[in-house]
A = this chain, B = another copy of it.
Amino acid sequence: MQSHAPALPRPAPAVLERAVAALRERLGDRVSTAPGILAQHGKDPSYHALAPPDAVVFVRSTEEVAAVVAICAAHRVPMIAFGAGTSLEGHITALAGGVCIDLSEMNQILRVCAEDFDVTVQAGVTREQLDRRLRPHGLFFPIDPGANATLGGMASTRASGTNAVRYGTMRDSVLALEVVLASGEVIRTGTRARKSSAGYDLTRLFVGAEGTLGIITQLGLRVHGVPEHVSAAVCAFADLGGAVRAVIETIQWGVPVARIELLDEVQVEAINRYAKLDLAPLPTLFFEVHGSERSVAEHTEALARIAAEHGGQGMRWAHEASERARLWKARHDAYPAALALDPTRQGFTTDVCVPISRLADCILETRQDLVQSGLTGPIVGHVGDGNFHVILLVNPEDPDELARAGQVHERMVRRALAMEGTCTGEHGIGCGKLDYLAAEHGAAVGVMRSIKQALDPHGLMNPGKMLPPGPP
């Protein structure tokens, strides 16, 4: 059964009042309690219920974040870091009230080092902003969740996207972090070296911690050279099984695709409408290959052969940059396109990831279950990683429909775990997947709790997320 956000104790009004007064003393009118602002900061683009914070602060420097955290800590008021608000598991909802720390004005790109293929950015820089800045240097940043998220937020959810099959996820892309701890102390993890064996890997600990251990204020990131040659292609398949088997074979043959994305026919129709494309309404793969002209030619041949063997109905290559951009824009808009299928409903996304050899079983069994449920749910996925989503369309006001969606999700997670996969490949736990953390990790959740207790003893950093309620 889908978990609902648990009721959490909130700070007393008098305490909040004193905390807000102290924040105003430090930040002046960059502290807001206007209902509209609070509401904007208490809801993500998914079905999770609005849970506004008691105040929003707009910070402009690490020192300000540290000061805000120290004030909140002194008053025992919860804190929630906020970037672009595009996460999907209720990460930014203020389940225990408290102060939302909006980092979107910390949007300076502090250094681009083309020689070392790395950059230093403030946490509020968005991925599209970074990419625009990198382009003249012949560089790009590969991690691309659909939305134009902030890099601090992407690190906090351990985001990935379409390029992960070749370039890895935020786990692999973050070299170093600056983090404000629950005490207000500022630390730096990592250096600009490519690798290190010096001490515990705190960088990887804060990446994916969903703001529950500290607030990321600055990041060192690896970037990549724009490939000499890029080709993208679209290929429709007679059936979903054929499309997935083509993916499996591509990966197992070691064809070094940069992207390999699946959209089922429901999702194809959704993006046809939303992005005004005219793709055949069939299960479809989007491919992209990076390399030299020769190697790209070699790999595209291999892909065409594999696709044809699995019922691929002619591959359409997009050689022009503008054509490719249109294609990938449509792919990145899969989520809003799915939502647009039914404006009366909201998105309930699932996000399992399994070993590639189990992907066909996992997707086909999920689809069968989905059909039986009677719910609408386009399937879309970063299938080269074994990761896919069903975007269930639900009316959060309809308890029966929400329950059915929860049951489809529950079965999907159990299926993925039985196949030695994970309940979430890239979205995170937030408050939406709390039920599955222990199902996936068992006794290791105790270690997570110990770490949380050690670094945030008063439980003030994004409470109610990541770790289900339980004994400390």
Q: Does A8 contact B (CB under 8 A)?
A: no
Is the interface on chain A under 10, 10 to 19, 20 to 34, or 35 or more residues? 35 or more
- With A187-B444, A207-B201, A453-B454 as known contacts, state yes or no: A169 contacts B195, CB within 8 Å: yes
Bound Cα distance from A35 to B252, whole angstroms: 51
Indicate if the CB atoms of A191 and B422 lie closer than 8 Å.
yes
Indicate if the CB atoms of B355 and A443 lie closer than 8 Å.
no
A158, closest chain B residue (CB): B197
- With A294-B298, A298-B292, A447-B187 as known contacts, state yes or no: A425 contacts B196, CB within 8 Å: yes
Question: Interface with B: A110-118, A307-315, A323-331, A403-411, which one?
Answer: A110-118
Indicate if the CB atoms of A115 and B195 lie closer than 8 Å.
no
- One digit per residue, 1 when the CB lies within 8 angstroms of any chain B CB and 0 when it does not, for chain A 329-367 equals 000000000000000000000010111110000000000
With a cutoff of 8 Å between Cβ atoms, the chain B residues found around residue A225 in the complex are 254
Indicate if the CB atoms of A201 and B171 lie closer than 8 Å.
yes
Bound Cα distance from A427 to B295, whole angstroms: 36
Indicate if the CB atoms of B425 and A197 lie closer than 8 Å.
yes
- One digit per residue, 1 when the CB lies within 8 angstroms of any chain B CB and 0 when it does not, for chain A 399-439 equals 00000000000000000110011111111110001001100
Bound Cα distance from A157 to B199, whole angstroms: 9
Bound Cα distance from A274 to B421, whole angstroms: 47
With a cutoff of 8 Å between Cβ atoms, the chain B residues found around residue A252 in the complex are 115
A176, closest chain B residue (CB): B420
With a cutoff of 8 Å between Cβ atoms, the chain B residues found around residue A85 in the complex are none
Indicate if the CB atoms of A171 and B199 lie closer than 8 Å.
no
Instruction: Tell me the number of copies of this protein.
Output: 2
With a cutoff of 8 Å between Cβ atoms, the chain B residues found around residue A436 in the complex are 198
Q: Does A164 contact B (CB under 8 A)?
A: yes
Indicate if the CB atoms of A423 and B200 lie closer than 8 Å.
no
Could you tell me the distance in whole angstroms from the C-beta of A270 to the nearest C-beta in chain B?
24
Bound Cα distance from A426 to B197, whole angstroms: 5
Indicate if the CB atoms of B422 and A354 lie closer than 8 Å.
no
With a cutoff of 8 Å between Cβ atoms, the chain B residues found around residue A440 in the complex are 191, 198-199
Bound Cα distance from A444 to B176, whole angstroms: 12
- One digit per residue, 1 when the CB lies within 8 angstroms of any chain B CB and 0 when it does not, for chain A 196-240 equals 111111101101110001000000000001000000000000000
Could you tell me the distance in whole angstroms from the C-beta of A245 to the nearest C-beta in chain B?
12
- With A294-B294, A295-B295, A450-B454 as known contacts, state yes or no: A444 contacts B194, CB within 8 Å: no
Q: Chain A residues in contact with chain B, CB under 8 A?
A: 113, 115-116, 118, 157-160, 164, 168-169, 171-172, 181, 185-189, 191-202, 204-205, 207-209, 213, 225, 252, 254, 291-292, 294-295, 298, 351, 353-357, 385-387, 416-417, 420-429, 433, 436-437, 440-448, 450-451, 453-455, 466
The 6 closest A-B pairs by CB, nearest first: A204-B204, A196-B422, A454-B454, A192-B420, A115-B357, A187-B444
